[in-house]
Amino acid sequence: MPVIFSKSVRGRTGVSLPENDVPDNVSIPENCLRTSPLDLCELSELDVVRHFTALSRKNYGVDTGFYPLGSCTMKYNPKVCEKAAGLDGFANLHPMLTALPDGVKMTQGSLAVIYELENLLCNITAMDAFTLTPMAGAHGELTGMMIIAAYHRKKGNNKTEVLIPDEAHGTNPSSAAVAGYDVKSIPTDPATGLLDIEKLKEAVNEKTAAIMMTNPNTLGLFNPQIKEIAALAHSFDAQLYYDGANLNAIMGKFRPGDGDFDVVHVNLHKTFAAPHGGGGPGSGPVGVKKHLEPFLPVSRVVKKANGEFCVCDDYPDSIGRVAPFFGNFLVNLKAYVYILMMGGEGLKKVSEQAVLSANYIMRSLKDHYDVAYLKTCMHECVLTAKRQMENGVSALDIAKALIDKGFHPPTIYFPLIVKEAMMIEPTETESKEAIDAFIEAMVEIAREAEDNPEALRNAPVSTPVGRLNETKAAKEMNVACL
Amino acid sequence: MAAVPTDLLYSKTHEWVQIEGDAVRVGITDHAQDSLGDITFVELPKLGTSVKKGGDAGVIESVKAASDLFSPVTGEVVSLNDSLESAPENINSDPYGSGWLYTVKFTDKSELDSLMDYEAYEKYLETI
Amino acid sequence: MSYIPVTPEQQREMLLKCGVSSIEELFKDIPAQLVPAEFSLPKGLSELEAVAKLEKLASQNNSKMISFLGAGFYDHFIPAAVDALISRSEFYTAYTPYQSEISQGTLQAIYEYQSHICRLTGMDISNASLYDGGTAVFEACQMAISATGRRRIIVDKGVNPIYRKMLRTHIANLNVELIEHNVFSDGSLSRIALKEIISENVAAAVLQNPNFFGIIDDHSDIVVECKKYGVIAIQAVYPIALSLLKSPAEQGFDIAIGEGQSLGIPLSFGGPYLGFIGARKELARKMPGRIAAKTEDKNGNEGFVLSLQAREQHIRREKATSNICSNEALCALRAHIYLSLMGKEGMKSAASLCHSKAMYCRRRIGSIEQVNMTDSRMFNEFIIELPINAGECAKLMLERGFIAGLPLSQYYKGEIGPNSKGENSADNLLLVTVTEKRTKQQIDDFVKNLEEVICR
């Protein structure tokens, strides 16, 4: 499909703006004026509408079909949340109103949402205080690590290292590095699929600033030794960080704060049903235990004795500002609506069904694919294409074959420590019929891998384009139509 | 089976080294290029800079991976394979020939003793 | 409401397949003493109840006032088609486009968005977006630090104070020296002093145009000085103004960044917004975040993929150029749709209207005897010096239904204003913004009320 710029027709317009009703005109000094051409589109509204409608039809979302992308929690995004975010009072409010004396009086509704959502998240995770300002999961990680750095600085601790299991999401080491730390990778015990606690004991020392954990980990396994790990960390005044990417597995079953985690981030765009938007916006609120609260970023929302909400920036130990204002407010609002509707019991049921569905898939496919760790998993399971590789069929081929059968593929080649990994996360919002259809497709593909492997290597054939040449893309670097 | 020429020395990080008088020519091995896949970009150390044995000496990128380059010896970078800028794929097609990376004038010849010969490197490859 | 479609009967079948008799058995790895005795959250609401609650909360906000508040975040017109198209759930319920064959919609949109950013700024390359303008400043500085191997950053105080505060927060642990360069008392760039501190030890110099006080400038001479010492020159821009003002590329900048909220994204009480970034091609491998690129399949069909992924954290882990992976893709799509609809003429007229109306507003306010004005080289924002405290004035104006602007003393103390040495010099300064949404009538009413408030 041609790019939008090629559809431009000179003299066509897509909007009508009012005529200038003031006597003044443009008067900008000559040296400040643009002289290069402003090469933008000339299209009608209908041209634009058709272009983007056509683009949307080349996409696959949760609303299109089953999306078992492991680690991404692609659950259904309730429409009522979108409706709430579209309410004029929320959508068209200037954040700097709160900077004006009495301006907070005009924003009490939004401040209430922030305050109440922070409290709900504290309850869900057993933390003492939350900030909603981080704008994505990785941004939450970075914020958390900066809070830890500020804590150690305040205490005069000389900490230089962060320990991270080798199965962790790539953002963990990357965020720790942006917070100024060296990263040490801790191996996973191949027998259990869990962090090798002996190796951890060898690695942890006076220099350790923090240990970052995902629990359940990226293999979908819960680590029951968490209290022991926490005690080990705390014996060196290292902080234990909880990556909440997999929170959908454990709501009402385990609260990170009860496991002695000091910092946690949660992904509202995963567990709490805010849509992913094709890559964002997300939201990655961070919760901390009492001893880290002084370091939380500003602005913070405070409830006064008279019940009025106000905005406070006066926290001398705060790490400062990670977002321009209150984070991705409308994303937070969607999560707030979702939590209100689910309630405590509902959230518990979410995790129960998410875990049941993942185990059901694993048990249904274990005779057809190798399972990385064949034991009870949490909300996702990791299969491998090891058996299919004997016929030259890789995880990538299986993923592409699933596309031809109408499904979004699972996450592939992650975690890195499992060869030919396929990480499947069904989420609780998929029906048994949808899951069974997926299982059937996977079984069929396993059969085809034996009968006709060549066909799988050519998949997908039902899409607007086939497998694309990534080498050409990286070498030619055509990233803009100019 | 990856090719391992008999006349070169090898590092554990999969660089090969060819001695040329008081300098060495450096590249990555056939095994290394094969595991990286289609190479799309190479960042070499700057000409005239000094590198340390085991220290960073650029980055090599493929579509799905990126790998740091480490210098097998200490010394000064005296020449670069400029052709890689436009044709990084030469590392895939000819890792021991036109895919060479750079040459270093070494300061301590004894550092070469710690590198592997082809037999040791072949054995090393079997272990990984 | 639960959104869980599996029935109790189906659950039993699934449990059977798993070889367990209850769901609890699946959670046996969680030690019993760690399972919370109770989960003290309120009872769930029905959709009807939830909507009622949210409508009530929304009504406790006042979004109906006539606004002259901007300061980097603007109340611009958004064509209805933007909202209609962004509501297509094929876009908003998709994840990051890893599987390119079923993500060509998102990927082509990102590629076109990147093209739009390049066309506006004059830069060669762009990315799929960053969280916001402040993050873009930090990421651009990181690019400069990595490209130069130097660790000193100069940021002009005409750069949005919120960006600067975010920058300070993000570099706190990175052994980076930050020099915040003072502006003149009228808010304009102190260029000779700036040139004196640009040296071969500096990684980047960051400027903003129009600057935070609305003043427009031509920074070409500063960029020349930067080039002399190999300093990466970074400009923060206001995208609406770019259809009138000299682009960052025309001034020679290496990196252009900015807040893209004004491109069709509602004010939303602070987010989600859109950080955009454009750069020279040579900096491509230092770029943070996702990048879409054009390529083809084996049959020669054109298509788009996420490219240059070897920079990113899922491959490079702690050595990645940045930790950013989730971005603001949907906001980038909004900006892209907005720019497509507005097009060349729409963008020019929006900018002209903003500017003309601001000129008119400034002239009208200037006719109030007790008010002082400074620099007139502006786009659509300007500082006024009131005879009373600006915060007090803004408060009184709120009572009359106007958001009068931003009192500057919150962000500047003793750096600007008539007695720029004095601690309270900025107390009476108000930053006033006018967009194309303001009518002559509203401006006239605003000026009339302002006069009444300050002359009481």
Q: How far apart are CA A264 and CA A309, in angstroms?
A: 25
Contact assignment for A297 to C328 by CB distance below 8 Å: no
- C85 contacts in chain A (CB < 8 Å): 48-49, 52-53, 56
User: Which amino acid is residue C290, in one-letter code?
Assistant: R
Q: Looking at the domain assignment, is residue B117 inside a domain?
A: no
Distance separating the N- and C-terminal Cα atoms of chain B: 13
Q: What is the CATH number of the domain that holds B72?
A: 2.40.50.100
Q: Which of B40, B61, B64 to probe by mutation at the A interface, max A CB count within 10 Å?
A: B40
Asked if residues A373 and A382 have their Cβ atoms less than 8 Å apart, the reply is yes
Q: Is C432 on the interface with A (CB under 8 A)?
A: no
Q: Is C27 on the interface with A (CB under 8 A)?
A: yes
Q: Looking at the domain assignment, is residue B75 inside a domain?
A: yes
Domain count, chain A: 2
Mean pLDDT to the nearest integer, B7-13: 94
Q: Which of B59, B63, B85 to probe by mutation at the A interface, max A CB count within 10 Å?
A: B63
Share the mean pLDDT of chain B.
92
Contact assignment for C23 to A352 by CB distance below 8 Å: yes
The answer on A126 and A236 residing in a single domain is: yes
Helical H runs in C19-88? Answer: 23-26, 47-59, 80-86
- B61 contacts in chain C (CB < 8 Å): 285, 310
Q: Looking at the domain assignment, is residue B74 inside a domain?
A: yes
**Cα angle, residue B120 at apex, residues B118 and B126 outer, rounded to 5°:** 105
Asked if residues C168 and A320 have their Cβ atoms less than 8 Å apart, the reply is yes
- A147 contacts in chain C (CB < 8 Å): none
The whole-angstrom distance between A142's CA and the closest CA on chain B is 23
The confidence score (pLDDT) of residue B128 equals 82
Q: How far is CA A304 from CA A99, A106, A312, B108, C84, in A?
A: 17, 16, 11, 71, 40
User: Which amino acid is residue C241, in one-letter code?
Assistant: A
Tokens of B93: 């097609």
Mean pLDDT to the nearest integer, C316-328: 88
Q: What is the CA radius of gyration of chain A?
A: 25
Domains and CATH numbers, chain C: 66-74+345-454 (3.90.1150.10), 80-338 (3.40.640.10)
- C62 contacts in chain A (CB < 8 Å): 89, 105-107
Q: Among all residues of chain A, which has the CA nearest to that of B62? A: A471
Number of neighbours of residue C257 by Cβ within 10 angstroms: 33
pLDDT at C446 over 80: yes
Torsion from C-alpha of A110, A113, A115, A118, nearest 10 degrees: -140
Q: Which of B84, B109, B122, B90 is nearest to B5 (CA)?
A: B122
Three-state SS annotation for chain A: CCCHHHHCCCCCCCCCCCCCCCCCCCCCCHHHECCCCCCCCCCCHHHHHHHHHHHHCCECCCCCCCCCECCCCCCCCCHHHHHHHCCHHHHCCCHHHHHCCCHHHHEHHHHHHHHHHHHHHHHHHCCCEEECCCCCHHHHHHHHHHHHHHHHHHHCCCCCEEEEECCCCCHHHHHHHHCCCEEEEECEECCCCEECHHHHHHHCCCCEEEEEECCCCCCCCCCCCHHHHHHHHHHCCCEEEEEECCHHHCCCCCCHHHHCCCEEEECCCCCCCCCCCCCCCCCCCEEECHHHHHHCCECEEEECCCCCEEEECCCCCCCCECCCCCCCHHHHHHHHHHHHHHHHHHHHHHHHHHHHHHHHHHHHHCCCCEECCCCCCCCCEEEECHHHHCCCCCHHHHHHHHHHCCCCCCEECCCCCCCCEEEECCCCCCCHHHHHHHHHHHHHHHHHHHHCHHHHHCCCCCCCCCCECHHHHHHHCCCCCC
Contact assignment for C319 to B64 by CB distance below 8 Å: no
Asked if residues A342 and C2 have their Cβ atoms less than 8 Å apart, the reply is yes
The confidence score (pLDDT) of residue A445 equals 98
Strand order in the sheet with C255-259: C125-126, C275-279, C255-259, C232-237, C202-209, C152-156, C177-181
- C309 contacts in chain B (CB < 8 Å): 63-64
The whole-angstrom distance between A297's CA and the closest CA on chain B is 34
Q: How far apart are CA A474 and CA B40, in angstroms?
A: 6
Q: Looking at the domain assignment, is residue A101 inside a domain?
A: yes
**C248-307 residues touching A, CB cutoff 8 A:** 249-250, 259, 266-273, 281, 284, 290-299, 301-305, 307
Q: Looking at the domain assignment, is residue B120 inside a domain?
A: no
Asked if residues C434 and C440 have their Cβ atoms less than 8 Å apart, the reply is no
- C315 contacts in chain B (CB < 8 Å): 64-66
Of chain C, the percentage scoring pLDDT greater than 70 comes to: 98
Q: How far apart are CA C327 and CA C330, in angstroms?
A: 9
Q: Looking at the domain assignment, is residue B124 inside a domain?
A: no
Contact assignment for C97 to A278 by CB distance below 8 Å: yes
Contact assignment for A330 to C268 by CB distance below 8 Å: yes
Contact assignment for B68 to C315 by CB distance below 8 Å: no
- Please identify, among A317, A341, A365, the residue that sits at the C-terminal boundary of a domain: A341
Which domain covers residue B84, as residue numbers? Answer: 9-108
Higher pLDDT: C374 or C297? It is C297
The answer on A206 and A326 residing in a single domain is: yes
The confidence score (pLDDT) of residue A185 equals 96
Q: How far apart are CA A94 and CA C403, in angstroms?
A: 10
Asked if residues C54 and A84 have their Cβ atoms less than 8 Å apart, the reply is yes
Q: Looking at the domain assignment, is residue B115 inside a domain?
A: no
Beta strands A161-165 and A208-213 are parallel
The answer on A440 and A312 residing in a single domain is: no
The whole-angstrom distance between A184's CA and the closest CA on chain C is 10
User: b/e string for C261-285 if b means 16 or more Cβ within 10 A?
Assistant: bbbbbbbbbbbbbbbbbbbeeebbb
Q: What is the CATH number of the domain that holds A175?
A: 3.40.640.10
The answer on A422 and A451 residing in a single domain is: yes
Contact assignment for C57 to A112 by CB distance below 8 Å: yes
Beta strands C232-237 and C202-209 are parallel
Confidence at C319, pLDDT banded by 50, 70, 90: confident
Whether this prediction's pTM lies above 0.80 is answered by: yes
Q: How far apart are CA A160 and CA C253, in angstroms?
A: 36
Asked if residues A21 and C356 have their Cβ atoms less than 8 Å apart, the reply is no
Angle of helix A329-365 versus helix A432-451 axis, rounded to 10:
50
Low-confidence ranges of chain A (pLDDT < 50): none
Q: Looking at the domain assignment, is residue A184 inside a domain?
A: yes
Which one-letter DSSP state was computed for residue C212? T
Q: Is A475 on the interface with B (CB under 8 A)?
A: yes
Q: Is C57 on the interface with A (CB under 8 A)?
A: yes
Q: Is C366 on the interface with A (CB under 8 A)?
A: no
Which one-letter DSSP state was computed for residue C246? P
Q: Looking at the domain assignment, is residue A24 inside a domain?
A: no
Contact assignment for B88 to A475 by CB distance below 8 Å: yes
| Nearest-CB residue to C315 (from B41, B43, B65) | B65
- B86 contacts in chain A (CB < 8 Å): none
Contact assignment for B41 to A470 by CB distance below 8 Å: no
pLDDT at C120 over 90: yes
The answer on A382 and A336 residing in a single domain is: no
Q: Is B85 on the interface with C (CB under 8 A)?
A: no
Confidence at C420, pLDDT banded by 50, 70, 90: low
pLDDT at C421 over 70: no
pLDDT at C321 over 90: no
Sheet strands (E) in C24-171 = 66-67, 125-126, 152-156
Q: Which of A468, A408, A414 is nearest to A442 (CA)?
A: A408
Q: How far is CA C405 from CA B85, C378, C411, in A?
A: 53, 16, 14
Q: How far apart are CA C45 and CA A344, in angstroms?
A: 11
The confidence score (pLDDT) of residue A340 equals 98
Strand-pair partners of C373: C384
pLDDT tens per residue across span C174-212: 999 999 999 999 999 999 999 999 999 999 999 999 999
Higher pLDDT: C268 or B41? It is C268
Q: How far apart are CA C278 and CA C119, in angstroms?
A: 10
pLDDT at B8 over 70: yes
The answer on A335 and A273 residing in a single domain is: yes
Contact assignment for A469 to C298 by CB distance below 8 Å: yes
Contact assignment for A64 to C132 by CB distance below 8 Å: no
Q: Which of C120, C343, C353, C78 is nearest to A13 (CA)?
A: C343
Q: Is B120 on the interface with C (CB under 8 A)?
A: no
Which domain covers residue A190, as residue numbers? Answer: 82-341
The answer on A309 and A163 residing in a single domain is: yes
The answer on A354 and A337 residing in a single domain is: no
Name the residue with tokens 């070169």.
B8
Q: How far apart are CA C370 and CA C386, in angstroms?
A: 7
The whole-angstrom distance between B40's CA and the closest CA on chain C is 9
Name chain B's partners: 3 or more CB pairs within 8 A.
A, C
The answer on A247 and A296 residing in a single domain is: yes
Q: Which of C315, C317, C318 to probe by mutation at the B interface, max B CB count within 10 Å?
A: C315
Q: How far apart are CA C280 and CA C261, in angstroms?
A: 23
Q: Looking at the domain assignment, is residue B49 inside a domain?
A: yes
Task: Classify B75 as helix, strand or coil.
Answer: strand
The whole-angstrom distance between A145's CA and the closest CA on chain B is 25
Q: Which of B38, B39, B41 to probe by mutation at the C interface, max C CB count within 10 Å?
A: B41
Domain count, chain B: 1
pLDDT tens per residue across span B94-105: 999 999 999 999
Phi and psi of C356, rounded to 5°?
A: -65, -45
Contact assignment for B63 to C285 by CB distance below 8 Å: no
User: Which amino acid is residue A59, in one-letter code?
Assistant: N
Contact assignment for A475 to B40 by CB distance below 8 Å: yes
Asked if residues C337 and A40 have their Cβ atoms less than 8 Å apart, the reply is no
The confidence score (pLDDT) of residue A57 equals 97
Task: Classify B119 as helix, strand or coil.
Answer: helix
Q: C-alpha C408: how far from its chain's center?
A: 20
Q: Is C197 on the interface with A (CB under 8 A)?
A: no
The answer on A336 and A376 residing in a single domain is: no
The answer on A366 and A242 residing in a single domain is: no
Q: Looking at the domain assignment, is residue B122 inside a domain?
A: no
Asked if residues C207 and C158 have their Cβ atoms less than 8 Å apart, the reply is yes
- Please identify, among A291, A310, A341, the residue that sits at the C-terminal boundary of a domain: A341
Q: How many residues does chain C have?
A: 456
Phi and psi of C265, rounded to 5°?
A: -110, 125
Q: Which of A78, A9, A79 is nearest to A47 (CA)?
A: A9
Q: Is C136 on the interface with A (CB under 8 A)?
A: no
**Cα angle, residue A111 at apex, residues A106 and A112 outer, rounded to 5°:** 110
The answer on A145 and A207 residing in a single domain is: yes
Q: Looking at the domain assignment, is residue A326 inside a domain?
A: yes
Contact assignment for C6 to A51 by CB distance below 8 Å: no
The confidence score (pLDDT) of residue C313 equals 80
Q: Which of C100, C282, C285, C306 to probe by mutation at the B interface, max B CB count within 10 Å?
A: C285
Give residues with Cβ within 8 angstroms of A267, minimum separation 6. A73, A137, A140, A244, A245, A247, A282, A283, A284
Strand-pair partners of A371: A383
Task: Classify C65 as helix, strand or coil.
Answer: coil
Among left, alpha and beta (phi > 0; psi -120 to 50; other), residue C122 is left
Asked which of A273-282, B66-75, C143-152, C444-453 is least confident by mean pLDDT, the reply is B66-75
Asked if residues C445 and C404 have their Cβ atoms less than 8 Å apart, the reply is no
Q: Looking at the domain assignment, is residue A108 inside a domain?
A: yes
Asked if residues C408 and C431 have their Cβ atoms less than 8 Å apart, the reply is yes
Q: How far apart are CA B21 and CA B29, in angstroms?
A: 21
Give residues with Cβ within 8 angstroms of B127, minimum separation 6. none
